[in-house]
């Protein structure tokens, strides 16, 4: 039995301690916004926040997050009202959309640390892979949130 905190709520689950966090989120908590991409922490489709840090959930065993505040894409807002989610919609960022929850989670973390990132800052922080190549729109959406005066992510 493990106890984890996800999106502000505690959950007690019967899972093996070496089960990747991604599968606990998807299969046990039905939080399917976090996607499986590569399984080796390279693509970023599985990005969640662990104590505010963007992390690839496919390679982290649930035993490593027992004392951690976990936030998934579902935890940003229930109605797509988070400023980054709004920017993604406004800038029509997704093409296929598969990687976008991980992209959004990485962008939110970036903007929490740097409210006015340069293109270089964005390129360095946004290491998630988008097979459709929407990087220009991703950058534009991040800049649009950063340029809103007084915006907080």
Residue with tokens 């989120």: 25
Q: Where does CATH 3.10.20.30 sit in the chain?
A: 2-73
What is the second-level CATH architecture of the domain 83-146?
A: Orthogonal Bundle (1.10)
Distance CA 79, CA 10 (A): 22
In DSSP terms, 12 is beta-bridged to 3
Helices (H), 9-134: 21-23, 73-76, 83-90, 100-113, 119-125
pLDDT value, residue 78: 86
pLDDT value, residue 75: 97
pTM (2 d.p.) = 0.94
pLDDT value, residue 150: 44
Low-confidence ranges of the chain (pLDDT < 70): 149-153
Q: Where does CATH 1.10.150.120 sit in the chain?
A: 83-146
Fold of 2-73: Ubiquitin-like (UB roll) (3.10.20)
Q: How many CB atoms lie within 10 A of CB 131?
A: 12
């Amino acid at each position: 039995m493990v106890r984890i905190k996800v999106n502000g709520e505690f959950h007690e689950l019967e899972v093996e301690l070496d089960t990747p966090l991604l599968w606990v989120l998807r299969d046990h908590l039905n939080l399917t916004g976090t996607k499986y991409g590569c399984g080796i922490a390279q693509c970023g489709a599985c990005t969640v926040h662990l104590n505010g840090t963007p992390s690839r959930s496919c390679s982290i065993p649930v035993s490593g997050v027992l004392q951690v505040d976990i936030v998934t894409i579902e935890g940003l807002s229930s109605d797509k009202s988070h400023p980054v989610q709004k920017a993604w919609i406004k800038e029509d960022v997704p093409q296929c959309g598969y990687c976008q929850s991980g992209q959004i989670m990485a962008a939110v973390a970036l903007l929490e640390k740097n409210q006015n990132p340069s293109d270089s800052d964005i390129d360095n922080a946004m290491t998630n892979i988008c097979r459709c190549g929407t990087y220009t729109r991703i950058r534009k959406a991040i800049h649009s949130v950063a340029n809103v005066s007084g915006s907080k992510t």
